[in-house]
Structure 1
Amino acid sequence: MKVLIVLLATFGIGLIVTKLTGDYNVNLSARIAMAVMMAFTALGHFKFTQGMAMMLPSFIPYKKQVIYITGVIEIAAAVGLLIPAMCTLTAWCLIVFFIVLTPANIHAAMKHLDMEKATFDGPGPAYLWFRIPLQLLFIGWVYWCCLL
């Protein structure tokens, strides 16, 4: 829920700021919002490393390193969204990234993982009713603001 609030609040602020400086720039506001959200989620990779590592299935080695690498990828994506010449490539990479992350989110939900506490007393599969549509929103958002 936090990431959705960050995305929508930043988008709204972006619309207000672009209106105050001229005409609404919906596309720029959308790219900035997704970049801020990606930077926000990247912070979680460094703050909640243990819990995020628990999201990964047992057959994946070097779990903490994978979490750190994906955090760096999210920071790079945030930057890429803000560079017009990189936006298309970044968007396609993010779409693949969001799709690749989906099994880890499903795995975490099935295990009732609470990522922030690194415990197995989280909301469980019911969380997927929010998370899967959220992943689809992220994919659609990136597609809309960078590929259309």
Structure 2
Amino acid sequence: MARLVLALAYGYVGTVHLKSPEGFLPIMPAWVPFPREVVLLTGVAEMAGAIGLMIPRLRTAAAWGLAAYAVCVFPANIKHAAEGIAVSGQVLGWSYHGPRLLAQPVLVWWALWAGGITDWPFGRRKG
């Protein structure tokens, strides 16, 4: 069930990236080349990862890809938080950004767990 939830979340967010890339451009760090194209590629990556998680033979690759993706977008999340950038006319405060930034490592773990790469902390105890 947790794998399906993660896949649905990434599928939804990937669709949003593809349908409305302009909404993500303000949070892109200045050093990212071709920001619009990068936003579109992130949408494709999210959707591919979501689909891959649900296909057993692609699951491991999708999990590694989504974990790497979560690491790669972290600078945009930091910029969004640090600069208080309005997205779609709305400025989100630290009540959003704090938990969002703290959740990023959880998203990395969740992808690896959903892909069967790690079973921590739910694995069998060795004794």
Q: Same fold (TM over 0.5)?
A: yes
Q: Does 1:57 align with 2:29?
A: yes
Q: Aligned runs of 1:28-107 on 2, under 5 Å?
A: 29-107=1-79
Q: Using the TM superposition, give the Cα deviation of residue 36 of structure 1 relative to its aligned residue in structure 2, in angstroms.
A: 0.5
Q: Which residue of 1 aligns with 2:99?
A: 130
**Does the aligned pair in 1 maintain the 2:18–2:44 contact within 8 Å?**
no
Is there any run of 5+ residues in structure 1 with no aligned partner, and where?
1-28
Deviation at 1:135, TM superposition (A): 1.5
TM-score, length of structure 2 as denominator length: 0.81
Aligned residues: 117
Alignment root-mean-square deviation, CA: 1.7
Percent of paired sites with the same residue: 29
- For residue 32 of structure 1, report the CA deviation from its aligned partner: 1.3
Following TM superposition, the consecutive aligned residue runs of length 4 or more in structure 1 with deviations greater than 2 angstroms are: 123-128
Distance 1:89 1:81, change over 3 A: same
Q: State the AA in 2 paired with 1:92.
A: W
Higher helix share: 1
CA gap of 1:108–1:53, structure 2 versus 1, over 3 A, is: same
On the 8 A contact 1:46/1:71 being kept in 2, the answer is yes
Structure 2 gaps of 5+ residues are: 120-127
Is the partner of 2:73 in helix, strand or coil?
Answer: helix
